[in-house]
Amino acid sequence: MLLRFRFSNFRSFPTEQELSLIAGPFTDQPDFVLHPAGLKEGVLPGAAIYGANASGKTNVIQAIWFMASAVSLSHREWSPDGPIPRQPFIANEESKPEPSEVEADFLLAGVRHRYGFRVDSQAVLEEWLYVYPKGKKQTWFHRKRGNPIGIRSCLYERVSYTNSDATPCSQAEKKFEKSTGRYSETIGGKVVSSHSTCPGW
């Protein structure tokens, strides 16, 4: 369930914009407001984007699509040595070299997640994933180009686990491994991790 989506320096939007499905303070239509467990705010089941012709409505959807395609298709369709197919604000020359940023705030399996990244035309500059089990923020990973990656300890910093320790993170590990080229294998009750280099970092 999408809670918020924000982006900046994309197509017709030079500054940060946000699409929010968090309910406002109005109380006249309570039946239309969802109250997911573990989230203080009410959430709307849908949102409408409206405005004059050429006001940027389609560009909001394009920004969402850019993020979705970067996550699901970049490893197959982006060239490791080629430019990143982003579309920065082009009405002035100053915006072209500036990074573009996108972030999605969403519920997955009842837990709030915040995932986002910053890119310029040559590389991914920064990427992060914050998760809020029981409402408390955890940094699952945060990496900047040229710096060592920081990953939450339950995923990769510990070398050995008991079965009970590994279970809560096992599904997240598999998703993380598939998306980053990292893998782990259980040998003799211990998890041995290996890391690969991702193009563009």
pLDDT reported for residue 155 = 52
Annotate 95-115 with three-state secondary structure. CCCCCEEEEEEEEECCEEEEE
Smallest CA-to-CA distance from 119 within 98, 140, 142 is with 98
Smallest CA-to-CA distance from 64 within 126, 14, 129, 18 is with 18
d(CA 75, CA 32): 39
Domain range summary for the chain, segments of one domain joined by +: 2-152, 156-201
pLDDT reported for residue 20 = 94
pLDDT reported for residue 10 = 95
pLDDT reported for residue 150 = 67
Question: 90: which 2 tokens?
Answer: 């082009």
pLDDT reported for residue 95 = 80
| pTM for the structure as a whole | 0.72
For the chain, residues with pLDDT lower than 50 are 156-173, 176, 179-201
pLDDT reported for residue 131 = 95
pLDDT reported for residue 114 = 96
Tell me the fold of 2-152.
Answer: Rossmann fold (3.40.50)
